[in-house]
Structure 1
Amino acid sequence: MTRLLIRSGKDPFTPVLAEATLTQDVFNSNSGNFLFQHSVWKALSVDGAELTSNGTLSERMPPEEGDAARVNEFDHFVIPLANAFRPDFESRLERLNELLEGVTVPTTVVGIGAQAAHGQGIESLAGISETVKRFVGLVLDRSASIGVRGEFTKSYLESLGFPSDSIDIIGCPSIFLHGRDFTVNKKVDAIAADSPLALNLTPEVPGIGAFAVAQAERHPNLTYIAQDSHDLRLLLWGTPSPKVQDPLVPVHFDHPMYQGDRIRLFLDTWTWYDFLATQDFAYGTRFHGNVAALLAGTPAMLLAHDSRTLELAEYHRMPFTVMPEFGTDVKAADLYAATDLTEFNAALPEGFDRYTAFLDRNGLDHIWKSGSGQSDFDARVASATFPPPVQPLVSSDGHEIAARLRWLSTNHVQDITRNKQAYQHPYPHPLWSGAGSRHARLQAATSKKISAQNAVIAAQKKQIDALAARIKLVEEFERTSPWGVTKRAFNKFKRLFSRS
């Protein structure tokens, strides 16, 4: 049996409640991560393969002694990644570097990409280049090649000195979930005011708030599909995003889309696909938000605003339009009319062949390889019961509030790891408190600080005890030795003489 360790927040079959997803950061701050993680998981689910999720724990904390040895118990370490070559992911890359130094088994990185703001080039990534060079070097020492998202990422790695033939452009593996012959076609001729629409947004993009409000006002059956941890926190607890001040962005409790129960966040890709299959059209800035629609058979238009999204859209030839800034004049009907899926459908088989050739090159058996055979992946997904989408607290029947109260009644803030509803990592590597909340992180940091202080105190106490023992020896010597007896007699005579 081949044993594969897969970098993923969880496996594709295990349901995790919304509160645990947030506090334990199971989806790594964005539900879109599950699309490529679980697509890779399905691709590698061949007969005789045992796949284990590492919970992405290897990069959350600095590796400890023995962590690399545990990875080496597997036959292959597979690391699906997204836009990891960016400044705010550098600390995680550094921790992965530290871990990989001790890893000896084949290690394959699938779908990694570089990210720069619109209008900026690879020069904007100079600050993280040393970390990236170390990471890619460690990976290539353990694999035949590294799988990147597109030309932008490949040119970046070439500028760091890596040979072209060690870099395979494979796009995002999420696209290939349904295999080589998958196609998407339009369902309706045109978008009407009452059409069911799915909108996805990046809250920090300039003008996105006014854009969102305008779309919601024009289309009463439009639903905002949220994806990140700030969105989930808003839905669960009514807590607004600390990063976005614009009141028009639907990341605030008082926003009309929140109060109108028009926001949904899906905790699993399978329920996400089911919902999007009921929509006529999806559009917005989120790459994986639009890919989810395409995988559900629903036309989608990506509104590209940075190199990360543009690189992938160009490679997969999915419908997109460059939109670094947003306004109220953008019409969904116009976007739908401009959505042509001909090139996307034509490009998918060619991209699929490059993707599977990359897996073959790196010694990874996959379900499309002749003779490998499929496991029971689809059956396991079909038999699982996943949580429903998370809705705003104001949902009419009160079930959202009831769910929050049930969670609170189990004391999750005091000890998330003992909550009966918590997610139990199958591979706790390294030892992890099981929480992603601020409370848990502070608790872990405080415990670590207290342990360090206790070690200092113990060392000081040992020094004090040693000094006390020496003093006791000196006192005993002075009390019993001839020199000590003479010294005391002299001092006594001196005192008597001074009185006289």
Structure 2
Amino acid sequence: MRILLTGIPSYLQRTIAQVSGTTVVHRPYFDEASTKKDLISQIRRIANTGNYLIGEGAAESLRGHDVTYLPFWHLANNRGSEDLYERVNREFDLCVFASANLLRPGYSADLEAEVFAKLKMPVVVMGIGIQRKEGLKDLLPAGTLQFLEVLRKKESFFLTRGYFTAEFLREQGMKFVKPTGCPSLYFAPNEMKRSLSALANPGLAEAQKIAFGGYLGSVADTIVDAHALLKPDSVASYVVQDEVVAYNLALTGDDNDIVYDRASGRITGATEYKHSEKWQRKSELLVYFDTNQWRGAMSSRDLCFGRRFHGCIIGMQAGTPALMIAVDDRMREMLEFIGFPYIEAATWNRDADKRAYLSNFLAKIDTQAVIDRYCACEANFRTALRQIGL
């Protein structure tokens, strides 16, 4: 089967030099990202480095097929080209669209609606999910409703992040809808199970080599977490995703100042952000544009902990135990579907002795039940792919 893969990309998008028709030319190197200007540019290209895991997981699930990744921006920018779409429809049998929080009030999928209306092939929307449950049915923009209408009229398959999204799409008249979880969950199943096996360890509450994730620059939550769990002489390691462009974590200095060491993934330049004065520990900010480097760095940690779903998933892909703090509906939907242990943000934030709370929480995890649930979800994902012909 000849598969057109588009939507959220893997980190290999950073090597794309040119796209012409259905041909993608890759450079044999990554763009430099050592200066302030270049670092911000690289972060803007993906907006959220966690998305790299979604694109990578979707691509991995298609291994063994004839797959070509065409950037969605190429399809959108050329939606007026009859020649391009004639060629696309001739050269491919199936389109797989790697998706994430597409169903949300603040995003109108006008371009997606136009592009998929031009495709004369079945479409698989993989990893689609919601941003917020409340009022979703009444608040979806017109472009997103049109996108759903386009797919309702053609042969389409929806692999959703969880149950709520599946229920919503069925109510919209979609025929093939399967809750399967985010495709990033099944990229490295053996390492995921190793991570889950290591999590039920109360001693992790005393770990000092922790990779934190959250919304630094917006709220002080991660700083509070680090103070609660780390000893005064420890270094708090925080992995940046989109904070530089979305949550006011600012790099100071001139555009051409060297602010990033790509070997270590560490931001070396000065930064400014809300609540930074509250730090009572040494801290470092890390950014990874290559998922292999990111996994390698997480493999040396004792624990990944925080409020970012994929910031913890990539640690699990490296076999490192990880625990998430659920902060919104999208995280809850994904976590409740896959059955991973997690802590509710409101509960965690108000607990006075966080280290003791964490130790007690970890001690109560039923490891076998968690692994059994994960294995069942992985089998469900593979079955859904086979049903589609993948």
- The TM-score range, normalised by the shorter chain, is 0.7 to 0.9
User: What is the CA-CA distance between 1:207 and the residue it aligns to?
Assistant: 5.2
Please say if 1:84 is aligned against 2:110. Answer: no
How many Å separate the matches in 2 of 1:214 and 1:62? Answer: 51
Unaligned runs of 5+ in 1: 242-246, 365-500
Partner of 2:203: 190
Q: 2:188 aligns with which of 178, 181, 185?
A: 178
Q: Secondary structure at the match of 1:114?
A: coil
Please say if 1:222 is aligned against 2:236. Answer: yes
1:310-329 equivalences under 5 Å are 310-324=332-346, 326=349, 329=352
- Please tell me whether the aligned partners of residues 108 and 139 of structure 1 are also in contact (alpha carbons under 8 angstroms): no
- Please tell me whether the aligned partners of residues 62 and 95 of structure 1 are also in contact (alpha carbons under 8 angstroms): no
Please say if 1:150 is aligned against 2:167. Answer: no
Q: Secondary structure at the match of 2:159?
A: strand
Moved more, 304-313 or 330-339: 330-339
Partner of 1:41: 59
1:472-487 equivalences under 5 Å are none
- Please tell me whether the aligned partners of residues 282 and 290 of structure 1 are also in contact (alpha carbons under 8 angstroms): yes
Q: 1:162 aligns with which of 173, 179, 189?
A: 173
How many Å separate the matches in 1 of 2:355 and 2:72? Answer: 38
Partner of 2:213: 200
Deviating above 6 A after TM superposition, structure 1's stretches of 4 or more consecutive aligned residues are: none
- Please tell me whether the aligned partners of residues 21 and 27 of structure 1 are also in contact (alpha carbons under 8 angstroms): no
Partner of 1:430: none
User: What is the CA-CA distance between 1:125 and the residue it aligns to?
Assistant: 5.0
Query: CA 1:143–1:278 in structure 2 vs 1: closer, same or farther (change >3 Å)?
Result: farther
The TM-score with structure 2 as length reference comes to 0.76
1:1-150 equivalences under 5 Å are 2-10=2-10, 12=12, 14=15, 15-18=30-33, 22-23=40-41, 27-46=45-64, 49-54=66-71, 56-58=73-75, 63-66=79-82, 68-69=85-86, 71-72=88-89, 73-90=91-108, 93-116=109-132, 121-128=133-140, 130-150=142-162
Unaligned runs of 5+ in 2: 16-29, 252-258, 261-268
Larger proportion of strand: 2
Q: Secondary structure at the match of 1:111?
A: strand
Q: Aligned letter for 1:191? A: L
Residues matched between the structures, number: 344
- For the aligned residue pairs, the C-alpha RMSD in angstroms reads 3.3
- Between structure 1 and structure 2, the one with the greater Rg is 1
Q: Secondary structure at the match of 1:79?
A: strand
Q: 1:268 aligns with which of 274, 290, 297?
A: 290
Query: CA 1:68–1:97 in structure 2 vs 1: closer, same or farther (change >3 Å)?
Result: farther
1:208-247 equivalences under 5 Å are 208=221, 211-212=224-225, 214-215=227-228, 218=231, 220-228=234-242, 230=244, 234=251, 238=270, 240=272, 247=274
- Please tell me whether the aligned partners of residues 208 and 231 of structure 2 are also in contact (alpha carbons under 8 angstroms): no
User: Equivalent pairs: percent with the same residue?
Assistant: 21
Q: Cα deviations across residues 198-244 of structure 1 (Å, max 9, x unaligned)?
A: 11103477652652563476461431111115168636565656xxx
- Please tell me whether the aligned partners of residues 5 and 74 of structure 1 are also in contact (alpha carbons under 8 angstroms): no
Q: Secondary structure at the match of 2:107?
A: helix
Q: Aligned letter for 1:276? A: M
Q: Secondary structure at the match of 2:4?
A: strand
Moved more, 275-284 or 214-223: 214-223
Q: Secondary structure at the match of 2:111?
A: helix
Partner of 2:25: none
The TM-score with structure 1 as length reference comes to 0.60
- Please tell me whether the aligned partners of residues 62 and 98 of structure 1 are also in contact (alpha carbons under 8 angstroms): no
How many Å separate the matches in 2 of 1:115 and 1:138? Answer: 21
Partner of 2:383: 357
Q: Aligned letter for 2:334? A: L
How many Å separate the matches in 2 of 1:82 and 1:260? Answer: 34
User: What is the CA-CA distance between 1:181 and the residue it aligns to?
Assistant: 8.8
